A and B are shown apart, each in its own frame.
Chain A
Amino acid sequence: MNASTEQTKKGTFRAPVDYSAKSGSGLDVEKIRREFPILRRKVRGQRLSYLDNAATTQKPQSVVETVARYYFRENANIHRGVHELSQVATSHYESVREQVQKFLGAERPEEIIFVRGTTEAVNLVAQSYGRSQLQKGDEILITHLEHHSNIVPWQMLCQATGAKLVVVPIDDRGDVRMDEFERLLSDKTRIAAFSHISNALGTINPVEEMTRLAKAAGAVVLIDGAQAGAHVEIDVQRLGCDFYTLSGHKMYGPTGIGALYGRYDLLNTMPPYQGGGDMILMVSFEDTIYNSLPNKFEAGTPNIAGTVGLGAAIDFLHDVGVTAAAKHEDELLEYASGLLSERKGIRFIGEAKERTGILSFVVDGIHPHDLGTVLDQEGVAIRAGHHCAQPVMDRFGIPATVRASFAVYNSREDVEALVRGIDQARELFGD
Chain B
Amino acid sequence: MNELRELYQELVLDHGKKPRNYRPMDEPYRHSVGYNPVCGDKLSLFVRVNESDVVEDVSFQGTGCAISTASASLLTEALKGKTATEAMDLMRQFTAMLIDPENDTDPDALGKLAVFEGVKDFPVRVKCATLAWRTLEAALDGRDTPVTTE
A393 and B65 contact, CB distance less than 8 A: no
Given contacts A428-B8, A429-B8, contact A369 B1 (CB under 8 A): no
From A365, A366, A400, give the contact of B39 (CB < 8 A). A400
Residues on the A chain within 8 Å of B107, using CB: none
List chain B positions with a Cβ less than 8 A from chain A: 1, 3-5, 7-8, 13, 16-17, 38-42, 63-67, 69, 122, 124-125, 128
Contacts of B124 in A (CB 8 A): 373
Interchain nearest-CB distance for B146 vs A (Å):
15
B66→A386 contact, CB < 8 A: no
Q: How far is the CA of A399 from the CA of B65 in the complex (A)?
A: 10
Please determine whether B3 and A377 come into contact, CB atoms closer than 8 angstroms: yes
Supply 23 A–B pairs (Cβ within 8 Å), ascending by A: A365-B17, A366-B66, A367-B66, A369-B39, A370-B16, A373-B7, A373-B122, A373-B124, A377-B1, A377-B3, A377-B4, A385-B39, A385-B40, A386-B39, A386-B40, A393-B40, A399-B42, A399-B63, A400-B39, A424-B4, A428-B4, A428-B13, A429-B66
Q: A373-B7, A374-B4 are in contact. List 4 more A-B contacts (CB 8 A).
A: A367-B39, A369-B65, A399-B40, A428-B8
Q: Which residues of A contact B41 (CB under 8 A)?
A: 369, 399-400
Closest to A424 in B: B1
Report yes or no: B39 in contact with A373, Cβ–Cβ below 8 A: no
Bound-state Cα–Cα, A355 to B11, Å: 41
- Residues of A within 8 Å of B69, CB to CB, are 367
> Nearest CB to that of B13 among chain A residues?
A429
A412 to B16: give the CA distance in the assembly, Å.
33
CA distance A365 to B17 in the complex (A): 8
Q: Which A residues are CB-close (under 8 A) to B5?
A: 428
Q: Considering the chains assembled together, what is the distance between the CA atoms of A369 and B36 in angstroms?
A: 11
Evaluate whether A385 and B38 lie within 8 angstroms (CB atoms) in the complex, with A369-B128, A370-B66, A373-B125 already known: yes
Question: For A370, what are the chain B residues with a Cβ–Cβ distance below 8 Å?
Answer: 8, 16, 65-67
A386–B39 CA distance with the chains assembled, in angstroms: 6
A400 CA / B42 CA spacing, docked (Å): 11
Nearest to B124 among chain A residues (CB) is A373
Q: What A residues does B125 contact at CB under 8 A?
A: 369, 373
> B38: which A residues are within 8 A, CB to CB?
385
Contacting residues, chain A, for B1 (C-beta < 8 A): 377, 424, 428
Task: Give the docked Cα–Cα distance between A221 and B110 (Å).
Answer: 59
Known: A424-B1, A428-B4. A399 touches B13 (CB 8 A): no
* CB atoms of B40 and A390 under 8 A apart: yes
Q: Is A368 an interface residue, CB under 8 A from the partner?
A: yes
Using Cβ atoms and an 8 Å threshold, which residues of chain A touch B122?
A: 373
Please give the distance in Å from B11's CB to the nearest CB on chain A.
14
CA distance in complex: A384, B67 (Å): 15
- Kindly list chain B residues whose C-beta atoms are within 8 Å of the C-beta of A374: 4
CA distance A225 to B87 in the complex (A): 50
Closest residue on chain A to residue B67 by CB atoms = A370
Residues in A with CB closer than 8 Å to B17 are 365
Which residues of B have CB within 8 Å of A429? 8, 13, 66
Chain A, 350-374, CB within 8 A of any chain B CB: 365-370, 373-374
Bound complex: CA A319 to CA B76 (Å): 59
Q: Are A400 and B8 in contact (CB under 8 A)?
A: no
